[in-house]
Amino acid sequence: MHIQTDAVRSMVSSPAYTWEEAKFVYESAFLVGRQALKSGYDAILDGTFLREDYRAEAERRLSRYCSSSDVVCVLCDPELARTRNSQRETTVPDASFDRLGASFERPRTAIFVRSDRGTPEEAAGYVIHRLGLDGSGGPLRPGSEPR
C-alpha cells in the first residue's frame, strides 16, 4: 500500500503547511500504515520526513507490525524541486518551501536515489535491487551513495 503524505494533505481544505497541519498529516499516514501492516499488506510511507527523528518515529511506531523497514531517500536539486512545485495543482507556498529545504536532514542510513538521473522506473529498479528483491540476495550495505 502506497501511503502518500501529499495525498493526505490534499484532503485538507486550503493547506497551510503549518507544524500543526504536518502533525495531523503524518499522524494520519502512521495510522493508515499501521492498519495496512496489521491487515497483512506491505506499506510504503511516502513523505518528506525532514528530520532523522521523524524517520525514527515512523520506524518506532510501525516496527511491531512488520519484520523489517528501510529508508529510501530521493534526492533532488533544489531548483528542480522548485520548478516541479510550480507545476503542481496545489503548490507549496514559497516561504514553506524554503523552510522545508533549509530544515532537511540527510538520512544517516538510507538507499539514495536522485530524481534528476534516469527514469522513475530505473530508480525503482535500483531500489528493488538494493533491497535484494530482484533475486540478487546477499546482505545490503546501508547508506549507499546516490546514483
pLDDT, mean over the chain: 89
Looking at the structure, tell me whether residues 144 and 75 fall in a common domain.
yes
Task: Please compute the mean of the pLDDT values over residues 112-139 and round it to a whole number.
Answer: 84
Task: Please compute the mean of the pLDDT values over residues 67-89 and round it to a whole number.
Answer: 92
**What was the pLDDT predicted at 139?**
43
Residue 145 belongs to domain spanning: 70-147
- Picking from 52, 69, 86, the residue at the C-terminal end of a domain is 69
Say yes or no to pLDDT of 141 above 70: no
pLDDT band at 137 (very low <50, low <70, confident <90, very high): low
**What was the pLDDT predicted at 69?**
93
Looking at the structure, tell me whether residues 75 and 146 fall in a common domain.
yes
Q: Quick: pLDDT tens for 7-16.
A: 999 999 989 8
Looking at the structure, tell me whether residues 45 and 83 fall in a common domain.
no
Looking at the structure, tell me whether residues 80 and 145 fall in a common domain.
yes
pLDDT band at 136 (very low <50, low <70, confident <90, very high): low
Looking at the structure, tell me whether residues 133 and 88 fall in a common domain.
yes
Looking at the structure, tell me whether residues 20 and 79 fall in a common domain.
no
Burial of 111 (0-12, 13-18, 19+ CB in 10 A): buried
Q: Quick: pLDDT tens for 94-125.
A: 998 898 889 999 999 999 999 988 899 999 99
pTM of the model: 0.81
Task: Please compute the mean of the pLDDT values over residues 113-140 and round it to a whole number.
Answer: 82
Looking at the structure, tell me whether residues 85 and 139 fall in a common domain.
yes
